[in-house]
Chain A
Amino acid sequence: MTDLLQQLVNGLTLGSLYALIAVGYTVVYGIVQLINFAHGEVFMIGAFGALATWTVLFNGTTSLWVLPFMILGAVAASVTVAILMERFAYRPLRHAPRLAPLITAIGVSVFLQEAVRLFYPGAKSKLPFPQIEVVTGPAVHIGDITVQRAAVFTVVSLAVCGALLWYFVNRTKLGRGMRAVSQDPDTARLMGINVNRIIVIAFAIGAVLAAVAGVAQGLQNSNIDFRIGFLAGLKAFTAAVLGGIGNLLGAVVGGLVLGVVEALATQFIPGQFGGSSWKDIWAFGLLIIVLVFRPQGLLGAQVVDRA
């Protein structure tokens, strides 16, 4: 029983990370039907942004008050990259056939990975990430279950970000604009909503959450690397599809479900096919199964109907 609960906790931790990144995918796809391949790189750049802020401003300190500044640094880096990406790579191709933005996204993804690898000092190997007190350190024990502190940070940040996102989308004017554009951009434009600005905001929101995920990843693994974006991005997109593409709550739910499935598969599948080396394969297998039996995802997709 404790095994199951332990794996559930692990799964929720993993899943929170996926959920934070998945929101970025789902919100962009819901509005512009673009799989932003480079969103994984936005997550990676968030992590590097936090590291850079710490290295430049707070080198050596691991006190807790440094953390908000690191998060700010991460957000600044991610949002800048996301907005530039939208403006120069995706906006010109908004009415092109589907293949063009996809190829561009792949190009942007490769470009960003290499740019970080070449121009960030020391990025050619793993870089140590500062272990801030209180959010890292000795694990917390609840009964028989061990919970890493960084894991708590991840789950809590998902909860906080989720609440803020909910408030933004449902209680502010811009949020209403976003909902309108994701239902019907042309009518939204007729209603006086600046659709271009809404799209930029969508990219920015995704970037903010990805940046927080980047900080969480760094705290959990105690190091970061220019390659973390690729697999995380792929899993996060799986999560977004799992929950229902375009559906914000779906992204969160999908992420958590995916994380739990991975953790349980690692622990409970017997014999040679269990264990961590197969967990990615189970995750992708889940994606294929979802697409076969329920392509609109668990909570239903919400994509603009272009008919």
Chain B
Amino acid sequence: MSTEPTPAGSELDFRQDVSRTDIDHPGPGFASHLARLAPSATPLFVVGSGLVVLSCFLSWSYDRSILGNVGIYGNPGSLQLIALVLGLFGILLALMRGPLRRFLPWVDRAAAARALGVGSLVFAVVIILAITLESSGLINVDPGGWLLLVASGLMALGGTVMQPTETEDPLRAHYGSTTEILVFVVLLAVGLAVVAYALDVKDGGSFVALLTGLAAVGAALGRGGFFQYLAVASARHRTVLTLGAVAVAFLFPFTQGGSDANMSIATQVLIFATTALGLNIVVGLAGLLDLGYIAFLGAGSYVGATMSYSAFATIDWKPPFLVVMVIGGMVSATLGLIIGSPTLRVSGDYLAIVTLAFGEIFRLAMNNLDGENGPDLTNGPNGVPAIPELEFGSFNFGDSHEVLGITLTRFANYYFLLLLFAAFVILIFIRLNNSRIGRGWVAIREDERAAEAMGVNVFGLKLFAFASGAFLAGLVGTIKAHHDVSVSPDQFVFLESAFLLAAIVLGGMGTVAGVFVGATILKLLPEKLRFLSDYRLLMFGALLVLMMRLRPEGIVPSRRRQLEFHADDEKLAEVVGEQHIEQEEARA
């Protein structure tokens, strides 16, 4: 800090302000008091983590019937295992300074510690709240629970005051291939275990606590730079990762032991996600605001229903299912062309309203074509119930069968079919994204007039996006008709379109993983948080508003979209640029 007096009014006056840092010379104030604690940050953090681990072996709650039994001394219950992970992770982070530093020089210890500490504190508060609400009050919290609270508070304090240290760039971290593949395998296995566990959680309080714990771990990993490392590493081992993800998805039904409860959720998630992926082509890639997408799904469903062997089907021609699928897709695509042609010429906002109007037209038309108000094509408000199961040759999808000693029920059959179909849609999505068409869409999204001037066929590409999105929705719809057994106009209200859009927006536009994340969240949470079911839509609306305010690009966005939403953020542009270079080099 400069102490020589500078002549008043000279350009050197600013020196005094610039050279001052709070770390070297803390001034008065709360931040300075915290900074004085800095040397004791790591001990605080370690003690906190250790105590968290200890608390897992104590009883948290006097009432043993709640939260999956966290009331036994010496035997950690389900949620206590999560706290165990948090505590062990904390100890691991503290050790980063010493022996582990050589292997992991790129981990931002202080930021990760801060995230982990705060996350653990939130977790402890949630646990205490859950115990209080689910049993008869605060009195039910045993000493173990209070220890958890205090310990996580220590972790939070230690993490907040920890001094940041020099770290290397996580984007440039590079280990041997075997090590990295091992890391991925472990990650996928852990992911599968967590998902299986999450699906089995019975009560709402446990589920919220589980989510909080996972969020704490995720935040700590993210702040530590782990996800940045993953982004580059996954570009190096793209094939392995894809195969691994496919294997995990394929193995999922075998972990269910024949129970239908989770499989029905899983099939619904898959249908929803595949439809959302089709919408992602329209909204995420081409940037067209489609609010009536559910109509295309509905068109496919009705085609599948009316051409099935249901007693209420209104069309006498019964072709094999693959033909029905294609017809369903073509009908939807034709509808897409009819709607798209007039409206894609005008501005994007009008498109939103027109597609919304068209969605309503579709629903009302399906409602009215019951013989009285129009030709009897769709059986009116009652829809087409009692649709029989799919049959491919001699394989009836309704039959259960045994594979390797594990029963696979009807839902598991549909799950595999939908998985195959989802793989097909993902393939189309990726190929479109990385093609000339995809680049044309990016150009249209960013500046339509410039794209037109550069020779991009704006109208043609928009129409293609619209029609192909509609085609995919039609295909899914035909399967959906058989899965849901009945089809009625009420299944295709505007709110469903809003949910589809929300899945893409929440999960992340322009990426495959993002859509699946969003679809899982939107379909799984209402199932697991049944105690909030009355407030479901209220929270959905609030969630949309908050997401747009805080993270409009979604949870797993494509980097390009992230840049589009944060056009003024230079630091982000730098990070993304570097990551892109690293990924390209890794791929080569």
Residue of A nearest to B498 (CB): A106
- A284 to B540, Cβ gap below 8 A? no
Which of A155-163, A190-198, A233-241, A259-267 lines the interface with chain B? Answer: A233-241
CB distance from B311 to the nearest CB of A (A): 24
Q: Which residues of A contact B343 (CB under 8 A)?
A: 288, 291
Complex CA distance for A104 and B548, rounded to whole angstroms: 6
User: Which residues of B500-518 have CB atoms within 8 Å of chain A's CB atoms?
Assistant: 501-502, 505
**How many angstroms between the C-alpha atoms of A35 and B353 in the bound complex?**
9
Shortest CB-to-CB span from A200 to chain B, Å, is 19
Residues of B within 8 A of A2 (CB): none
Known: A291-B342, A291-B346, A291-B350. A280 touches B364 (CB 8 A): yes
- Whether B357 and A234, one on each chain, are in contact in the complex, defined by CB atoms closer than 8 angstroms, is yes
Check if A147 is an interface residue, CB within 8 A of chain B.
Answer: no
State the CA gap A108–B541 with chains docked (Å). Answer: 6
Partner of A102, one of B289, B367, B373, B543: B289
CB–CB A111/B542 < 8 A? yes
Nearest CB in chain A to that of B339: its residue:
A288
- The reply on A103 being an interface residue by CB < 8 A is yes
A111–B297 alpha-carbon span in the complex (Å): 25
Digitize B327-370: 1 where CB-to-A-CB distance is under 8 Å, 0 elsewhere.
Answer: 00000000000010011011011101110111011001101100
**Docked CA distance A288–B345 (Å):** 12
User: B residues within 8 A CB of A133?
Assistant: none
Q: Which residues of B contact A268 (CB under 8 A)?
A: none
- Given contacts A292-B342, A295-B346, is CB(A118)–CB(B353) below 8 Å? no
Could you tell me the distance in whole angstroms from the C-beta of B93 to the nearest C-beta in chain A?
Answer: 35
Closest to B538 in A: A114
Q: Which residue from chain A places its CB closest to the CB of B374 in the assembled complex?
A: A272
- Given A107, A273, A281, which contacts B542 in the complex, CB threshold below 8 Å? A107
Given known pairs A118-B534, A292-B342, the reply for A287 and B542 (CB within 8 Å) is no
CB distance from A281 to the nearest CB of B (A): 5
Q: What 0/1 readout, one digit per residue, does chain A (28-52) give for beta carbons within 8 Å of chain B?
A: 0100010100000000000000000
Contacts of A142 in B (CB 8 A): none
Interface string of B537-558 (1 = CB under 8 A from A): 1101111110111001000000
Flag if B373 contacts A111 (CB, 8 Å): no
Cβ of B565 < 8 Å from any Cβ of A? yes
> Given the complex, which residues of A lie within 8 Å of B372, measured CB to CB?
272
Q: Which residue of B lies closest to A273 (CB)?
A: B374
> For the complex, is A285 an interface residue (Cβ under 8 Å from B)?
yes
**Which of A107, A115, A230, A288 is B494 in contact with, Cβ under 8 Å?**
A230
Measured CA separation A96–B505 after assembly (Å): 14
Chain B residues with CB under 8 A of A121: none
Interface assignment of A68: CB less than 8 Å from any CB of chain B: no
**A288 contacts B552, C-beta separation under 8 Å:** no
Shortest distance between the CB of A122 and any CB in chain B (Å): 15
Which residues of chain B have C-beta atoms less than 8 A from A281's C-beta?
A: 361, 364-365, 368
Instruction: Give which listed residue, A107, A230, A273, A280, contacts B548 with CB less than 8 A.
Output: A107
Question: Are A114's CB and B537's CB within 8 A?
Answer: yes
Query: A97: CB under 8 A from chain B?
Result: yes
Tell me if B564 counts as interface (CB < 8 A to partner A): yes
**Which residues of chain A have C-beta atoms less than 8 A from B352's C-beta?**
35, 102
Given the complex, which residues of A lie within 8 Å of B494, measured CB to CB?
230
Distance, CA A230 to CA B348, complexed state (A):
21
Are B364 and A277 interface neighbours, CB within 8 A? yes
A124 vs B356: C-alpha distance in the bound complex, in angstroms? 25
B373 to chain A, nearest CB (A): 5
Query: Counting CB contacts under 8 A, is B535 at the interface?
Result: yes
A167 within 8 A of B: no
| Complex Cα gap A29–B350 (Å) | 11
**A103 near B501 (CB under 8 angstroms)?**
yes
Chain B residues with Cβ below 8 Å from A106 are: 291, 498, 501, 541, 544
Instruction: Say yes or no for A100: interface residue by CB 8 A criterion.
Output: yes
With known contacts A110-B544, A277-B373, A35–B349 Cβ distance under 8 A: yes
In the bound complex, residues from chain A placing their C-beta under 8 Å from that of B283 are 99
Are A107 and B501 in contact (CB-based, < 8 A)? no
Task: Find residues 245-280 in chain A having any chain B CB closer than 8 Å to their own CB.
Answer: 272-273, 275, 277-278, 280
A278 vs B361: C-alpha distance when bound (angstroms): 9
| Residue ID in chain A nearest B362 by CB atoms | A281
Complex contact B498–A110 (CB within 8 A): yes
* Cα(A291)–Cα(B352), bound, Å: 13
A99 adjacent to B289 (CB under 8 Å): yes
Give the chain B neighbours of A273 by CB distance below 8 A.
373-374
Please name all residues of chain B whose beta carbon is closer than 8 Å to the beta carbon of A100 when the two chains form the complex: 548, 552, 565
Does B137 interact with chain A (Cβ within 8 Å)? no
Contacts of B349 in A (CB 8 A): 29, 33, 35, 98, 102
Q: Hey, which chain A residues are within 8 Å of B345, CB to CB?
A: 295
Interface string of B519-548 (1 = CB under 8 A from A): 000000000000000110110111111011
- Whether A97 contacts B564 by the Cβ 8 Å rule is yes
Q: Tell me how far the C-beta of A130 lies from the nearest C-beta in chain B, rounded to whole angstroms.
A: 28
A93 interfacial by beta-carbon distance below 8 Å: yes
Cβ–Cβ contact A288 & B342, under 8 A: yes
Q: Is A92 an interface residue (CB 8 A)?
A: yes
Asked if A109 CB lies within 8 Å of chain B CBs, one says yes
- Asked if A16 is at the interface of the complex by the 8 Å CB criterion, the answer is no
Contact of B361 with A277 in the complex, beta carbons under 8 Å: no
| A113, CB-defined interface residue at 8 Å | yes
Residue of A nearest to B353 (CB): A237
A110 touches which one: B287, B357, B541 (CB < 8 A)?
B541
Nearest B residue (CB) for A286? B357
Contact for A97 among B364, B495, B502, B565, CB less than 8 A: B565
A132 within 8 A of B: no
Contact yes or no, A234 B537, CB < 8 A? no
Tell me if A89 counts as interface (CB < 8 A to partner B): yes
Give Cα distance in the complex from A118 to B364, angstroms.
27
- How far apart sit A238 and B354, CA to CA, in the bound complex (Å)? 9
Q: B495: which A residues are within 8 A, CB to CB?
A: 110
- Cα A97 to Cα B357 with chains together (Å): 23
CB atoms of A92 and B549 under 8 A apart: yes
A284→B361 contact, CB < 8 A:
yes
Candidates B361, B534, B541, B547; contact of A111 at CB < 8 Å:
B541
**Across chains A and B, which 4 residue pairs bring their CB atoms closest together, nearest first?**
A107-B544, A111-B541, A110-B541, A292-B342
Binding site for B on A (CB under 8 A): 29, 33, 35, 89, 92-93, 96-104, 106-115, 118, 230-231, 234, 237-238, 241, 272-273, 275, 277-278, 280-281, 284-285, 287-288, 291-292, 295
Known: A104-B544, A107-B541, A295-B346. 13 other contacts (CB 8 A): A29-B349, A97-B564, A97-B565, A101-B548, A102-B289, A110-B495, A110-B540, A110-B544, A112-B541, A272-B375, A278-B373, A284-B361, A291-B346
Q: What are 9 contact pairs spanning A and B, CB under 8 A?
A: A92-B549, A103-B547, A103-B548, A106-B544, A111-B545, A238-B357, A280-B364, A281-B364, A288-B342
